[in-house]
Amino acid sequence: MTGSNNGGRERGYEALRESEELHRATLSSISDAVFLVDDAGAFTYICPNVDVIFGYVPDEVQAMSRLGRLLGENLFDPAELIARGELRNIEREITAKSGERRTVLVQLKRVSIRGGTVLCTCRDVTELKHAEKELAATRLDLAHAGRLALVGQLPASIVHEIQQPLTSIRINASAGMRILRDHEKSAEDAELRGILSDIHGQSSTAAKIVDRLRSLVRKRSLDLRPLDMNKVANEVLRLVHADALRRGVTLRAEMATALPAVEADRVSLQQVILNLIVNAMDATAEADGKDRLVVMRTHAGFGTVEVEVSDTGRGIPADHRAKLFDAFFTTKADGVGLGLAIARSIAEAHGGRLWAEEHGGPGATFRLSLPSRPGAGDS
């Protein structure tokens, strides 16, 4: 009987040794680094492959004695870990033994193992962060190309908008010079002041138009601020007004009052709305003059602010609906097919949505929805 018990214990010890060897082999083969620490942050276990991320062998890490010296102090709130049991996705920048800066994603779990009370798992996400930055840069390049394409669709509007104030400036400047030459220090001074004031106002108008256009084509990162959607939409309407007149398109705005603000980048938001309006005007090209109508509406939803652009154009063919927002899909002979793809990516970057509604007939409606920011004013 005793021999049988001894044999059972031996088999149990052997199974335990095999289990420990399996765990050691598993931990040494994965790319994550695993630690156990006590409540004071002192190491009670260090995985054998810690050098993969940090460059230090286990003995060098053990010599540091505490987790804070490896990952930095104030990594987590002990009370929060106790209350929640687990903390995920804590991002830390660390310096490896080689001096290389690396980004580590940390997960913490409350345990009770071999004197350790906190299980810490570290994953190297440096390459992932680099890839994210490259993707962000690519998106900015794509958005920049889209801005150039969009502005390129408005040459007549640009010329008309700038030409009018500049013509007025030239006429008024000529009149001012004649008055100065013929009536110096005369009773005409009041009229001269009015003319010069007109010159100043018209030149300011020209400068604002140029600035808006330069902003659209400037390569830049997002600048998120609380914005009034109505103001942004009206800025775009002013920009396309002359182009709409040239095309014979009626632009109508139906703006809701007292909209909550949205947290957005002004130029990017202008780009989305500009794209929708230009597309809508393009869609009405085949309609009779009196039927060329584009309506822009704004309204507040449940926790959102929405912009709706509708047209009386040809509508969206059924076989085009699934591809509308695909990059490089276009039905225009001179189009690049980036506008709607970029517009949707901008909406999603702001936590919003952009979609087309089906009418089941002529005309189309596109909707932009962004999360509202209650209580914030326009910047």
**Separation of alpha carbons 95 and 89, rounded Å:** 19
Read off the pLDDT band of 195 (50, 70, 90).
confident
pLDDT of residue 48: 85
Quote the mean pLDDT of the chain. Answer: 78
* Across 329-337, average pLDDT: 56
Among candidate residues 107, 97, 117, the one with its CA nearest the CA of residue 53? 97
Whether the per-residue pLDDT at 342 is higher than 70: the answer is yes
Q: Is 325 helix (H, G, I), strand (E, B) or coil?
A: coil
* Across 8-20, average pLDDT: 58
Tokens of 181: 């030459």
**Separation of alpha carbons 269 and 191, rounded Å:** 42
pLDDT of residue 29: 53
Sign of CA dihedral 171, 172, 178, 181: negative
Domains of the chain (ranges; CATH) run 31-124 (3.30.450.20), 134-373 (3.30.565.10)
The H helix count followed by the E strand count for the chain is: 11, 12
**Separation of alpha carbons 180 and 178, rounded Å:** 5
